[in-house]
Amino acid sequence: MDEEELVEYFKAQMRKNPDMASAVAAIRTLLEFLKRDKGETILGLRENLTWATDCLTGVDSSVAVSSGGELFLRFISLTSLEHQDLSRCKKVMEERGELFLEKISMSRTKVAKLCHTFIKDGTKILTHSYSRVVLRVLEKAAAEKKRFSVYVTESQPDSAGRQMAEALRKLNVPVTVVLDAAVGYVLEKVDLVIIGAEGVVESGGIINKIGTYQMAVCSKAHNKPFYVVAESFKFVRLYPLNQQDVPDKFKYKADTLKTVQNLSEEHPMIDYTPPSLITLLFTDLGVLTPSAVSDELIKLYL
Amino acid sequence: MADGGVTDGPDKNDDVERAKCEGKEMTKEEKQRLRKEKKQQKKSKEKKDDAASQESEKGKKSDGKSSPASQPLPKPTTQKAPSAVPAPAPVPMPASEAPAPADKPAKSKAELKAERRARQEADRASKQGSKKGEVGPQASAGKPKAPPSELQPVVKRLPEHMQVDNPDVLKKLAKKLERQQIPLRLDYGYKVSLFSHLHQYSRKAPLTQQLSIPSTVIHPAIVRLGLQYSQGIVAGSNARSVALLHAFKQVISDYTTPPNEELSRDLVNKLKPYISFLNQCRPLSASMGNAIKYIKKEISNIPSQCKEEEAKRKLLNCIECYINEKIILAAKAIAKYSIEKISDGDVILVYGCSSLVNHILCEAFEKAIKFHVIVVDSRPRLEGREALRRLVQRGISCTYVLISAVSYILPEVSKVFLGAHALLANGYVMSRVGTSQIALVAKAFNVPVLVCCETYKFCDRVQTDSFVSNELDDPDDLIVTRKGKTQLEDWQQVDSLGLLNLVYDVTPPDFVDLVITDLGMIPCTSVPVVLRVKNVDQ
């Protein structure tokens, strides 16, 4: 399977199921790649998979794709590969790959189940931009017949917040779209803040759409709880110290990275929120405090 | 003379006396005989003591029946386990109870007075470090410890070096050192009351002056090492650990197993007096403690059928591996991770002289990253000058300031790199005094603080402040002569003046953004996870 086929398959997966996380689509692609791979050695197989992950990050530069790919590779290799026959090894790896995929498909449901209990009747929630996990959580809360209202930020430059508002209106949830600049204004009316994440870093902080850090600082100043909902495949082995420390390859969209020469004139699409501003993280591994994220990462990666 | 002048009792064997005076190590039989004699003396003293304490018990209960002289008696017994001592004291000694009441009225006052006098003598004597009165009060001090420990085996003992103001603990230490034939080092000068529970030694009185020549009890490599520690010639936790391991290699290669002994057991016993000696010269660091634990484990894991030559070779190899893996390769790994965090145009602040941080900066410079270093220094050690020397020699551009200027230069700093002496289990960082100050000011200016520490320095202890356990350096180091005048020359004469020279302090994990270890980059709160993973590995 060469690069074009890979990218085509990935895009097809995204088109088929727009609700799926891009990382899940990437993992499906990698699984397909594994099945079709004609390598002769396990080391060669691993190298090919790494190359494939790099290709996919070239298409969609979000943190989750690279973290998902790395976790996939680790998960399938975390078994005894001492069989004599390469095809038997590959079979084992494929089975584990399917298992991994199954687990992460369930992750959004698990997160929603954990989080919806934190939403009580009469709660006013603030959220940022369009996040499918947050949407799933709010769906579940609405299904439990809870009455709550939502404020969504517009989230420029792509106005993704309006998409979120549309989806919520379909659920009959009262929703208000606010300007990004109005976050401080609206926070006194709000009871809690729920945010998705593109990546969860080793320190327990998160990487998310630009504007999240601002919201976190304001909610800390107002003493409102700041909750993050994220699946476990988004845990990544980065440790940024400040905004500048986040690698450029995550900050901008993939096309921008390829075409633009001077990146300092481009506006970054993501920012980093340090763990001191986050109250709790809801993941399919459970409800974690930011300092527990490092423990989980050590378990996942070491 | 280290061992001369020991008077044990009237029935002391001449051979043992002679052996001690010559400084030779006592043979096993002689040691056993000595132990037996001491036990007998202890028992006789116990009986007397018990009778006296029975007195005090009944005195307390009957209110004023016995003389008020019984009051000072319960004091040393209650120091260890206040609630438990009065109750168990009657219980484990039922035998001595029978004769006691019979003799009680006649002997009580005279006995108590004699006991009190003996105890006062002992206190005075132990404070002057003389060996004469030691055996007597040691025997009586042994007794109050026995009943509490029988009933409370789960009571955690505080280490000796944190209880210097407790005379019982001091007596116990003196007894242990005498048994190992190591001189006791005396505390020097007035101690500030908040730190009176710690040792304070003077550099002008090294322990080695009290050793006899030639001292055959302690290996010369260890004597040299102890001198290097106490005079500050070898300083810095990595340097001290490596020097210790090299000295132990020398000890092991010179070692021969005595007949009828097993190497795995005897060698460990041989190392114990060396460790006490080194502890007396300068308190052991956490990294040295971990290294010693490792060596002891390796020695006791030597199979008994292993030949001596092979065993020695194996041990020397283990030590080499340990130094290589935990110190040298770890430094390389940490440098690799740290270089990712240093970018062009950075202004990095370092404090004091940490061998690891210097290594990282030199490696980063080799990789042609353009950065500027600010070295912060403090009295009285002025270790920053050494760091400055090493960095400037490589060609790194540096600025040198004293710690009082740290809030002035911090707005220009982009990152702070700190070394650590030890990382505690609750995430606190123990490092050179002044480190927590720098971390605090950096936090106030929102400058990221990175601590670099190898995993062999992680220890299981928990500490939240710098008072409980610390090291007090020579107070005379604070005295400075300017323009021919030394103002603090006679500081000992002034009653209300105390000089305090602390060596370590602890930094809370909220001020530290990142810890770089050879396992990777972890937040400060994840230290217990690493300890858990390490224990599983071992």
Residue the block writes with tokens 């690698």: A247
**ipTM of this predicted complex?**
0.81
Answer whether A302 sits within 8 Å of B533, measured CB to CB. Answer: yes
- A71: containing domain: 3-105
The answer on B448 and B379 residing in a single domain is yes
The answer on A238 and A291 residing in a single domain is yes
Answer whether A241 sits within 8 Å of B533, measured CB to CB. Answer: no
Residue the block writes with tokens 């850090």: A213
The answer on B459 and B408 residing in a single domain is yes
Judged by phi (left if over 0) then psi (alpha if -120 to 50, else beta), residue B351 lies in: beta
Answer whether A294 sits within 8 Å of B450, measured CB to CB. Answer: no
Band of pLDDT at residue B142, cut at 50, 70 and 90:
very low
B68 in helix, strand or coil? helix
**Cα distance between residue B163 and residue B184, in whole Å:** 16
Least confident span in A252-266, B172-186, B424-438: A252-266
The answer on A97 and A142 residing in a single domain is no
Compute the average pLDDT of residues B463-474: 90
Of A242, A275, A294, the CB nearest to B522: A294
The answer on B525 and B399 residing in a single domain is yes
- Model confidence at B28: pLDDT above 90: no
> What pLDDT, in 10s, does the model give residues B284-295?
888 899 999 999
The answer on A129 and A267 residing in a single domain is yes
Full DSSP string of B295-310? HHHHHHTS-TTS-HHH
> What pLDDT, in 10s, does the model give residues B243-279?
999 999 999 999 888 888 888 888 888 899 899 999 8
The answer on A276 and A129 residing in a single domain is yes
> Is B484 buried (19+), middle (13-18) or exposed (0-12) by CB count in 10 A?
exposed
Using only C-alpha atoms, chain B has a radius of gyration, in whole angstroms, of 27
Residues ≥6 apart with Cβ < 8 Å to B420? B354, B429, B430, B431, B451, B452, B453, B457
Answer whether A202 sits within 8 Å of B523, measured CB to CB. Answer: yes
Distance from CA of A200 to the nearest CA of B (A): 14
Answer whether B521 sits within 8 Å of A204, measured CB to CB. Answer: no
Least confident span in B1-10, B147-156, B192-201, B269-278: B1-10
The answer on B417 and B506 residing in a single domain is yes
**Cα distance between residue B439 and residue B435, in whole Å:** 6
The answer on B429 and B368 residing in a single domain is yes
Determine contact, residues B143/B75, Cβ cutoff 8 Å. Answer: no
B441 falls within a domain = yes
The answer on B435 and B358 residing in a single domain is yes
Determine contact, residues B97/B90, Cβ cutoff 8 Å. Answer: yes
Band of pLDDT at residue A262, cut at 50, 70 and 90:
confident
Band of pLDDT at residue A156, cut at 50, 70 and 90:
confident
- Model confidence at A137: pLDDT above 50: yes
| Chain B contact set for A298 (CB, 8 A) | 522, 526, 529-530, 533
The pLDDT of residue A157 is 85
Residue the block writes with tokens 């078994």: A79
The answer on A205 and A139 residing in a single domain is yes
Backbone angles phi, psi at A171, to 5 degrees: -85, 5
| Chain B contact set for A291 (CB, 8 A) | 523, 525-526
B74 falls within a domain = no
**Cα distance between residue A177 and residue A161, in whole Å:** 7
Determine contact, residues A203/A256, Cβ cutoff 8 Å. Answer: no
Compute the average pLDDT of residues B26-44: 76
The number of beta carbons lying within 10 Å of the beta carbon of residue B408 is: 9
- B272: containing domain: 201-328
Compute the average pLDDT of residues B423-447: 94
Say how far residue B12 (Cα) sits from the centre of its chain: 33
Final residue belonging to a domain, choices A105, A140, A162: A105
**Cα distance between residue B143 and residue A9, in whole Å:** 82
Burial B74-100 (b: 16+ CB within 10 A, else e): bebbebbbeebbbebbbeebeebeeeb
- Model confidence at B107: pLDDT above 90: no
> What pLDDT, in 10s, does the model give residues B334-349?
999 999 999 999 999 9
B9 falls within a domain = no
> A286: which 2 tokens?
């459970």
Determine contact, residues B475/B198, Cβ cutoff 8 Å. Answer: no
The number of beta carbons lying within 10 Å of the beta carbon of residue A59 is: 18
B157 falls within a domain = no
Strand-pair partners of B419: B452
Distance from CA of B340 to the nearest CA of A (A): 10
CA-based nearest residue to B439, from B384, B358, B509, B381: B509
**Cα distance between residue A79 and residue A151, in whole Å:** 46
The residue ranking higher by pLDDT, A201 or B100, is A201
Determine contact, residues A213/A276, Cβ cutoff 8 Å. Answer: no
Indicate the number of domains in chain B.
2
Determine contact, residues B240/B287, Cβ cutoff 8 Å. Answer: yes
Helix, strand, coil share of chain B (percent; to 5): 55, 10, 35
> B286: which 2 tokens?
């956490």
The residue ranking higher by pLDDT, B4 or B413, is B413
Interface of B with A (CB under 8 A): 341, 415, 448, 450, 513-514, 519-523, 525-526, 529-530, 533
The answer on A209 and A78 residing in a single domain is no
The residue ranking higher by pLDDT, A170 or B116, is A170
The number of beta carbons lying within 10 Å of the beta carbon of residue B138 is: 22
Give the CATH number for residue B373.
3.40.50.10470
The answer on B510 and B409 residing in a single domain is yes
| Chain B contact set for A240 (CB, 8 A) | none
Least confident span in A64-78, B74-88, B207-221: B74-88
Cβ-Cβ contacts under 8 Å between A and B: the total is 36
> Is A157 buried (19+), middle (13-18) or exposed (0-12) by CB count in 10 A?
exposed
B104 falls within a domain = no
Residue the block writes with tokens 């209300």: B496
The residue ranking higher by pLDDT, B15 or B38, is B38
The number of beta carbons lying within 10 Å of the beta carbon of residue B522 is: 21
The number of beta carbons lying within 10 Å of the beta carbon of residue B308 is: 12
Angle of helix B220-230 relative to helix B263-281, nearest 10 degrees?
30
> A208: which 2 tokens?
């998310």
Angle of helix B237-254 relative to helix B263-281, nearest 10 degrees?
140
The answer on B414 and B381 residing in a single domain is yes
The answer on A279 and A197 residing in a single domain is yes
Final residue belonging to a domain, choices A105, A124, A152: A105
Determine contact, residues A149/A174, Cβ cutoff 8 Å. Answer: yes
Full DSSP string of chain A? --HHHHHHHHHHHHHH-TTS-HHHHHHHHHHHHHHH---SSHHHHHHHHHHHHHHHHHH---HHHHHHHHHHHHHHHSS----S-HHHHHHHHHHHHHHHHHHHHTHHHHHHHHHGGG--TTEEEEEES--HHHHHHHHHHHHTT--EEEEEE--TTTTHHHHHHHHHHHTT--EEEE-GGGHHHHGGG-SEEEEE-SEE-TTS-EEEETTHHHHHHHHHHTT--EEEE--GGGB-S---SSGGGS-HHHHS-HHHHHH-S-GGGSPPSEEEE-GGG--EEEETTEEE-HHHHHHHHHHHH-
Minimal-distance CA residue of chain A relative to B449 = A241
Residues ≥6 apart with Cβ < 8 Å to B57? B86, B89, B90
Distance from CA of A187 to the nearest CA of B (A): 25
Final residue belonging to a domain, choices A105, A140, A167: A105
Minimal-distance CA residue of chain A relative to B341 = A245
Indicate the number of domains in chain A.
2
The answer on B323 and B296 residing in a single domain is yes
The answer on A87 and A34 residing in a single domain is yes
Determine contact, residues B198/B164, Cβ cutoff 8 Å. Answer: yes
The answer on A260 and A134 residing in a single domain is yes
The answer on B399 and B515 residing in a single domain is yes
- Model confidence at B141: pLDDT above 50: no
The answer on A255 and A137 residing in a single domain is yes
B485 in helix, strand or coil? strand
B59 falls within a domain = no
Give the CATH number for residue A294.
3.40.50.10470
Torsion of the alpha carbons at B320, B323, B326 and B327, rounded to the nearest 10: -150
For residue B361, which amino acid is it? L
The answer on A79 and A143 residing in a single domain is no
B96 in helix, strand or coil? helix
Residue the block writes with tokens 């009959």: A172
CB-facing half-sphere around the CA of A267: CA atoms within 13 A = 7
- Model confidence at B147: pLDDT above 70: no
The pLDDT of residue B442 is 96
Distance from CA of A204 to the nearest CA of B (A): 9
Compute the average pLDDT of residues B307-329: 92
The answer on B364 and B303 residing in a single domain is no
The answer on A8 and A135 residing in a single domain is no
Answer whether B526 sits within 8 Å of A203, measured CB to CB. Answer: no
- Model confidence at B95: pLDDT above 80: no
Minimal-distance CA residue of chain B relative to A243 = B448
Minimal-distance CA residue of chain B relative to A242 = B448
Using only C-alpha atoms, chain A has a radius of gyration, in whole angstroms, of 20
The answer on B426 and B313 residing in a single domain is no
- Model confidence at B56: pLDDT above 80: no
